């Protein structure tokens, strides 16, 4: 009570007052802490206790940090830290949770759930009366919040705010600020605010009310918490992203309150505190201390109220705010949430904010600093102000592209980059956060360039090298990830940062090197770093060369993939990134021997070579029975011979990329992974590896067969995700260069291949892209080329009708598809022995041979010419083409409004995977007439190997859609694949074996 | 006739028989290593790489059979019964799969759409 009173007074008054406030607040915090402890104890978490104790806030900080990180990355896959917290809490107070949920529904403030829960407990346990009363009010307020509730709420909130403000003033910087309990109070406040947009304006009244508040103030706040706690959206929490979000939210909420209390104690490191401070600070520019109190209060009031209000809704919808996660660090998150509202407020402010404050309160005038002023504060000699300015800038730029661009044009980026080298952890950490937001978003390439031009890349790398703070590392790698999505910067990142990123992060985190435990560390840092590599690995031959030659990189990536497979932990983003890098590095792998390998005429034998190596056909595993052909033994023999064929000395470095052993890893992923990105990348890797002419490619093609990979690939043809199907179909096409593979594909995959061709039924044809159709056609052409039987089975599978469907709807398909379809028909017609059969079906020569195709095939390079396909140069690959595509994507970009937040999609999109385009100049030489009208990309002929290509546009779209989903990270349809995608195969326990078969025994599923 | 075909099916040959559609929603559980997984709560036996003649249940072909169903498990709730022969799982043919493959398929998806043959129900 006393405290409250004092605080109110202080608020009104000047600096001196502020100091008092602090003390008072501390008291409050203490009381709170006790309560919280009780709760905590009950609940279980030591952290909670710590939270209560301000000093221990650090833990809280870490907690908060985790949250922010996730956001930064945009990927929430690895939430372990946060999630654990959440789970614990939820577990403890099951009943409480349930309550909260109900309440939440009414209140809208879902986000705050965790905190809220705690509060409730406290309320019940601790000071029932006060809490209850308070909480009751908040609740009602919350329920009413939208409009009517405002009156009651305001008071409670106000008190909080004031407290906050005082605390904010400076205390703030505690690393641990995110402490749950403290936060809770804030939380409540925030929530309340949100509901009441008017709040800010109401501020004046608050001051007046304060006294009243003061009594209840401490408790009131807590109560509020209690109420809100209930809200904790349990549902969202469960999901991967939710935890983060929740955590974030908690942080936010808590931050407000926590700041005040903890903040005072620990000013130094906490990000959050800075943010809070920022708010406060920003106003202070004119008169830091004095105004602080006032300004900060005002600011808080303004920002929090609306933001929260808005935020909750957002959370509710999304489950978690992707945005926050992505761009804003935890601290930022609060801010972010606020941001939206803040913006509104800001817009409103010009007229309203200061006046209201002035009038009601002690005539204090304050306003939020504008962008120019904030940027000015970056150069303020006071480190605290610097840090706050950076944090506030981060806040202002969250999800706000105009502000991002404005910040650049106002010269805000160079000072931020300068701050990266600052000695104060708060300063460089906050600068990282601001840069992360500034660099996020596809449409912010100019900002990325500006960061680079200001020397940002070396500065970031230096920071990455010198800092041991994992939060800073996450932030830095997050910024780098954003930067790496800009084509212009990839080379710079490779030149300046590749070695550090690999040696400081990738290798140690992978667990590959002998010094480590062997366990892969699935951290956000690793995810970010692998994302950087994923992006830069698509930057053409230069990038591939540098990455391949980077010592330990390929080894680490493959190690990570293998260990992920062992642990059945293959659905996460880190694995996706790693596989994408591997795919990109596998692109044109033969170039390490001869950069122009595909320009030379190919020796015909290469193809034959592949065949003879073969052993038996026993690869179509499932069908072996039917096949009568090769029993298991043969397979074993085959594998034996294969291994014998391999080099004896262990391969390392880039050579690992094309060792036949990698096939097993890729096939494992293809068999069990549910992450379409990873599936696409794994299929793309096989496609790339099988696309070259050198001996390793021959061995890879055989290895896929021996590892029974063909049925796995064929099965994936039935998958719904077209991008995956396309990669798989193209891989099959390249694998079909191997004679045995060709026979197996013709024998067992014909129907699945035909199924991917358009039937004329829109429903069926819907989701199949032209690229996929082209890849299927190329495979079919390869398969039937010299095999009349397969040509017949293509006919019997209804392939001719479908081919005709294509050629008869020329306007519906790309020239490439039309050309390929025509080529397949032409090839069919070349089997003279089947012509009678065709005619029996009612087809004529004209159906199979069109003028253009005939003309095309008249040349010396005609496809039917036995080796024409191979003879042709592979065509310069589209090593860089993806870049262009990337650019094009922009058109697809939706406004930043996507729920996921810019960072997410950005990263996803940007992460161009390698994206290789089809080799130009397909195998088939251009028609004599040189009538190539199609874009270069489409030139690949049916006969030649194709490189894996990523269809970015689709990907983008998908991501966008995904954005709507709660966990941004879990964009993939399956959501966090982790949830079910990867069950452990090991479960299968042999209860009783039918036989001695290795597989024998029943399996639990 | 159908019954005979369903339970004495020669893997790889065409077959037509009545079947029972079953939708099974897996539930989270913990495997023996403590990892969280989605569980069905049933056990399968058989496969084209298994010798049905040695099966304790006396199955008569290489199909995939449900050899045990946990009480109260998702499998039990879905109506799956012991000795059901799984013909399809999420569209995949189960009349000609290896044991391991069947396990993989079943583990692959959170929801299983099964077609099963049941003696005395789909056949006489």
Instruction: State the DSSP string of A498-512.
Output: HHHIIIIIIHHHHT-
CA distances from B36 to A984, B28, B42, B64 (A): 9, 7, 17, 26
Q: Stretch A97-122: mean pLDDT, rounded?
A: 31
**CA pair distance A592, A602, nearest whole angstrom:** 17
In the structure encoding, which two tokens stand for residue A365, read together?
Answer: 């005038």
Query: What's residue B112's pLDDT?
Result: 92
pLDDT band at A32 (very low <50, low <70, confident <90, very high): very low
In the structure encoding, which two tokens stand for residue A160, read together?
Answer: 């909080």
Under an 8 A CB cutoff, do A999 and B33 touch?
A: no
Under an 8 A CB cutoff, do A997 and B51 touch?
A: yes
Helix (H) or strand (E) holding A871: helix A868-871
Query: What's residue A858's pLDDT?
Result: 60
Q: Is the pLDDT of residue A4 over 70?
A: no
The helices-and-strands tally (H runs, E runs) of chain B is 3, 8
Q: Stretch A49-54: mean pLDDT, rounded?
A: 33
Contact A546, A596 (CB under 8 A): no
Q: Stretch A675-684: mean pLDDT, rounded?
A: 92
**Residues of B with CB below 8 A from A974's CB?**
110
What's the burial of B6, exposed, middle or buried (CB within 10 Å: 0-12/13-18/19+)? buried
Q: Which of B14, B35, B109 to substitute to test the interface with A, most A CBs within 10 Å?
A: B35
Distance from CA of A1004 to the nearest CA of B (A): 4
**Residue scoring higher pLDDT (A367 or A622):** A367
Residues 6+ apart with CB under 8 A from A976: A77, A239, A240, A241, A571, A967, A969, A970
**CA pair distance A911, A957, nearest whole angstrom:** 14
Under an 8 A CB cutoff, do A672 and B108 touch?
A: yes
Query: What's residue A854's pLDDT?
Result: 67
Distance from CA of A506 to the nearest CA of B (A): 26
**Residues of B with CB below 8 A from A623's CB?**
12, 96
Query: What's residue A594's pLDDT?
Result: 85
Under an 8 A CB cutoff, do B40 and A1005 touch?
A: yes
pLDDT band at A629 (very low <50, low <70, confident <90, very high): very low
Q: Stretch A994-1000: mean pLDDT, rounded?
A: 33
Q: Stretch A858-880: mean pLDDT, rounded?
A: 36
Of the listed ranges A352-366, A759-773, A893-907, the one predicted with least confidence: A893-907
- Check CB contact of B14 with chain A, cutoff 8 Å: no
**Residues of A with CB below 8 A from B37's CB?**
980, 982-984, 987
Under an 8 A CB cutoff, do A1002 and B48 touch?
A: no
- DSSP three-state, residue A618: coil
pLDDT band at A602 (very low <50, low <70, confident <90, very high): low
Which residue of B lies nearest to A632 if distances are taken between CA atoms? B49
Under an 8 A CB cutoff, do A983 and B31 touch?
A: yes
Of the listed ranges A593-602, A670-679, A965-974, the one predicted with least confidence: A965-974
**Residues of A with CB below 8 A from B33's CB?**
984, 986
**CA pair distance B99, B49, nearest whole angstrom:** 7
Give the other-Cβ count within 10 Å of A566's Cβ: 12
Query: What's residue B12's pLDDT?
Result: 78
CB pairs under 8 A between A and B: 111
**CA pair distance A397, A328, nearest whole angstrom:** 9
- How would you classify residue B53: left for phi > 0, otherwise alpha for psi between -120 and 50, otherwise beta? alpha
Of the listed ranges A605-609, A695-699, A974-978, the one predicted with least confidence: A974-978
pLDDT band at A83 (very low <50, low <70, confident <90, very high): very low
Closest CA to A397 of A460, A465, A443: A443
**CA pair distance A182, A257, nearest whole angstrom:** 5
pLDDT band at A116 (very low <50, low <70, confident <90, very high): very low
Which residue of B lies nearest to A997 if distances are taken between CA atoms? B50
In the structure encoding, which two tokens stand for residue A775, read together?
Answer: 């890849």
Q: Stretch A213-238: mean pLDDT, rounded?
A: 36
- DSSP three-state, residue B87: strand
Q: Is the pLDDT of residue A248 over 70?
A: no
Helix (H) or strand (E) holding A89: helix A80-92
Under an 8 A CB cutoff, do A674 and B108 touch?
A: yes
Of the listed ranges A156-165, A386-395, A826-835, B93-102, the one predicted with least confidence: A156-165
- DSSP three-state, residue A149: coil
Rg of chain A taking only CA atoms, in angstroms: 31
- Chain mean position to CA A754: 35
Per-residue pLDDT reduced to its tens digit, A455-493? 999 999 999 999 999 999 999 999 999 999 999 999 999
Which of A29-38, A768-777, A880-889, B28-37 is most confident?
A768-777
What phi, psi does A643 have (nearest 5°)? -60, -35
Residues 6+ apart with CB under 8 A from A384: A170, A173, A267, A277, A281, A426
ipTM: 0.72
Per-residue pLDDT reduced to its tens digit, A499-545? 999 999 999 999 888 777 778 888 999 999 999 999 999 988 999 99
**CA pair distance A414, A437, nearest whole angstrom:** 15
**Residues of B with CB below 8 A from A979's CB?**
28, 38, 110
Q: Stretch A320-342: mean pLDDT, rounded?
A: 35
**Residues of A with CB below 8 A from B110's CB?**
974, 979-980
Distance from CA of A981 to the nearest CA of B (A): 6
Q: Stretch A21-48: mean pLDDT, rounded?
A: 33
Question: Which single residue is written with the structure tokens 């099974």?
Answer: B24
Under an 8 A CB cutoff, do A1003 and B35 touch?
A: no
pLDDT band at A593 (very low <50, low <70, confident <90, very high): confident
- Check CB contact of B56 with chain A, cutoff 8 Å: yes
**CA pair distance A707, A670, nearest whole angstrom:** 12
pLDDT band at B29 (very low <50, low <70, confident <90, very high): confident
**Residues of B with CB below 8 A from A715's CB?**
92
Question: Which single residue is written with the structure tokens 């007052």?
Answer: A17
Query: What's residue A497's pLDDT?
Result: 93
**CA pair distance A255, A784, nearest whole angstrom:** 67
Per-residue pLDDT reduced to its tens digit, A891-923? 233 333 333 333 323 333 333 333 333 333 333
In the structure encoding, which two tokens stand for residue A733, read together?
Answer: 């096409």
pLDDT band at A786 (very low <50, low <70, confident <90, very high): confident
Per-residue pLDDT reduced to its tens digit, A395-416? 999 888 899 999 999 999 999 9
Beta bridge partners of B113: B23
User: Crossing angle for the helix pair A470-483 and A57-73, nearest 10 degrees?
Assistant: 10
pTM value is 0.51
Query: What's residue A362's pLDDT?
Result: 52
Average per-residue pLDDT for chain A: 59
In the structure encoding, which two tokens stand for residue A48, read together?
Answer: 């909670």
Dmax (CA) for chain B in angstroms is 46
Q: Is the pLDDT of residue A291 over 80?
A: no
- Check CB contact of B21 with chain A, cutoff 8 Å: no
Residues of A with CB under 8 A from a CB of B: 568, 621-623, 625-626, 671-672, 674, 715, 718, 974, 979-989, 991-995, 997, 999-1005
**CA pair distance A208, A219, nearest whole angstrom:** 18
């Amino acid at each position: 009570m006393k405290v409250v009173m004092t605080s109110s007074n202080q608020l009104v008054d000047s600096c001196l007052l502020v100091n008092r406030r602090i003390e008072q607040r501390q008291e409050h915090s203490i009381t709170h802490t006790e309560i919280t402890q009780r709760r905590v104890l009950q609940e279980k978490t030591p952290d909670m206790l710590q939270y209560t104790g301000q000093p221990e806030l650090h833990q809280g900080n870490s907690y908060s940090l985790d949250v922010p990180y996730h956001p930064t990355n945009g990927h929430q896959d690895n939430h372990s830290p946060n999630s654990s917290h959440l789970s614990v809490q939820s577990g403890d107070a099951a009943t409480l949770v349930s309550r909260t949920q109900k309440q939440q529904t009414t209140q809208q403030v879902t986000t705050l759930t965790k905190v809220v829960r705690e509060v409730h407990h406290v309320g019940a346990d601790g000071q029932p009366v006060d809490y209850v009363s308070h909480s009751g009010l908040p609740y009602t307020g919350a329920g009413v919040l939208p409009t009517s509730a405002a009156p009651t709420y305001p008071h409670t909130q106000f008190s909080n705010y004031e407290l906050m403000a005082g605390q904010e003033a400076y205390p703030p910087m505690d690393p641990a600020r995110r402490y749950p309990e403290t936060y809770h109070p804030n939380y409540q406040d925030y929530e309340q605010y949100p509901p009441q947009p008017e709040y800010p304006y109401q501020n004046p009244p608050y001051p007046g009310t304060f006294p009243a508040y003061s009594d209840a103030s401490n408790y009131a706040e807590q109560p509020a918490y209690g109420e809100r706690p209930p809200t904790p959206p349990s549902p969202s929490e469960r999901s991967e992203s939710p935890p983060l979000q929740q955590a974030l939210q908690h942080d936010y909420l808590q931050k407000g309150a926590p700041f005040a209390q903890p903040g005072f104690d620990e000013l130094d490191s906490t990000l959050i505190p800075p943010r809070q401070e920022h708010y406060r600070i920003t106003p202070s520019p004119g008169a830091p201390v004095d105004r602080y109190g006032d300004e900060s209060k005002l600011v808080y009031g303004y920002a929090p109220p609306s933001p929260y209000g808005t935020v909750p809704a957002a959370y509710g919808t999304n489950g978690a705010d992707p945005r926050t996660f992505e761009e804003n660090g935890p601290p930022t998150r609060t801010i972010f949430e606020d941001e939206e509202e803040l913006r509104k407020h800001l817009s409103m402010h010009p007229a309203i904010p200061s006046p209201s404050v002035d009038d009601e309160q002690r005539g204090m005038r304050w306003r939020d600093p504008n962008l120019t002023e904030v940027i000015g504060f970056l150069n303020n000699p006071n480190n605290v102000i610097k840090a706050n300015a950076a944090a506030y800038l981060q806040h202002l730029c969250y999800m706000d592209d105009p502000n991002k661009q404005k910040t650049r044009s106002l010269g805000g980026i160079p000072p931020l980059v300068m701050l990266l080298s600052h000695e104060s952890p708060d300063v460089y950490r906050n600068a990282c956060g601001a840069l992360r937001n500034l660099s996020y978003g596809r449409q912010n390439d100019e900002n990325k360039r500006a960061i680079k031009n200001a020397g940002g890349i070396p500065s970031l790398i230096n920071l990455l090298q010198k800092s041991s703070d994992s939060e800073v590392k996450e932030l830095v790698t997050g910024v780098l990830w954003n930067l790496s999505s800009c084509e212009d910067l990839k080379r710079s990142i490779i030149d300046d940062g590749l070695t550090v990123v690999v040696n400081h992060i990738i290798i140690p985190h992978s667990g590959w090197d002998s010094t480590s435990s062997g366990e892969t560390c699935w951290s956000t840092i690793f995810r970010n770093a692998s994302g950087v590599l994923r992006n830069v690995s698509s930057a053409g031959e230069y990038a591939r060369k540098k990455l391949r030659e980077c010592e330990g990189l390929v080894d680490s990536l493959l190690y990570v993939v293998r260990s992920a497979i062992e642990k059945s932990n293959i659905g996460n983003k880190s694995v996706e990134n790693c596989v994408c890098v591997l795919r990109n590095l596998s692109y044109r792998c033969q170039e390490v021997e001869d950069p122009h390998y595909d320009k030379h005429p190919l020796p015909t034998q290469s193809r034959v070579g592949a065949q003879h190596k073969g052993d038996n056909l026993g690869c179509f595993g499932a069908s072996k029975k039917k096949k009568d052909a090769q029993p298991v033994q043969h397979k074993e023999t085959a594998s034996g011979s294969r291994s014998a064929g391999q080099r004896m000395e262990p391969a390392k470095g880039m050579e690992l990329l094309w060792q036949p052993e990698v096939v097993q890893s890729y096939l494992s992923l293809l068999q069990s992974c549910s992450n379409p990105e990873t599936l696409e990348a794994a299929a793309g890797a096989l496609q790339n590896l099988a696309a070259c002419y050198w001996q390793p490619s021959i061995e890879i093609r055989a290895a896929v067969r021996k590892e029974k990979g063909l049925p796995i690939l064929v099965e994936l043809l039935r998958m719904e995700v077209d991008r995956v199907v396309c990669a798989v179909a193209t891989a099959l096409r390249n694998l079909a260069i191997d004679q045995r593979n060709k026979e197996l594909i013709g024998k067992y995959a014909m129907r699945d291949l035909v199924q991917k061709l358009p039937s004329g039924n829109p429903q069926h044809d819907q989701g199949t892209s032209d690229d996929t159709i082209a890849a299927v056609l190329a495979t079919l052409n390869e398969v039937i080329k010299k095999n009349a039987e397969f040509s017949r089975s293509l006919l019997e599978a209804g392939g001719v009708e479908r081919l005709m469907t294509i050629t008869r709807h020329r306007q519906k398909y790309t020239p490439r598809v039309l050309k390929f379809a025509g080529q397949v028909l032409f090839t069919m017609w070349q089997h003279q022995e089947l012509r009678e059969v065709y005619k029996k079906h009612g087809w004529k020569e004209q159906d199979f041979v069109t003028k253009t195709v005939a003309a095309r095939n008249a040349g010396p390079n005609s496809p039917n010419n036995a080796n024409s396909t191979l003879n042709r140069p592979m065509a310069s690959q589209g090593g860089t083409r993806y870049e262009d595509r990337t650019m094009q994507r922009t058109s697809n970009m939706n406004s930043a409004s996507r729920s996921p937040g810019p960072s997410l999609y950005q990263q996803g999109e940007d992460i161009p995977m390698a994206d290789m385009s089809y080799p130009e100049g397909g195998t088939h030489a251009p028609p004599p007439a040189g009538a190539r009208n199609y874009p270069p990309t489409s030139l690949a002929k049916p006969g030649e190997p194709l490189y894996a290509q990523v269809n970015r546009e689709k990907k983008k779209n998908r991501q966008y859609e995904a954005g709507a989903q709660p966990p941004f990270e879990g964009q993939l349809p399956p959501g966090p694949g982790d949830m079910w995608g990867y069950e452990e195969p090991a479960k299968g326990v042999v209860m009783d074996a039918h036989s001695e078969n290795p597989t024998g025994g029943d399996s639990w599923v | 006739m159908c019954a005979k075909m369903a339970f004495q099916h020669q893997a790889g040959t065409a077959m037509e028989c009545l079947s029972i559609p079953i939708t099974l929603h897996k539930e989270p559980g913990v495997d023996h290593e403590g990892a969280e997984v989605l569980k069905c709560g049933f056990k399968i036996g058989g496969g084209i790489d298994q010798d049905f003649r040695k099966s304790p249940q006396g199955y008569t072909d290489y199909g995939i059979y449900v050899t045990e169903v946990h009480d109260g498990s998702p499998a039990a709730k879905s109506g799956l019964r012991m000795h059901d022969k799984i013909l399809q799982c999420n569209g995949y043919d189960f009349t000609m799969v290896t044991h391991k493959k069947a396990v993989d398929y079943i583990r692959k998806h959170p929801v299983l759409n099964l077609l099963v043959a049941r003696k005395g129900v789909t056949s006489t």
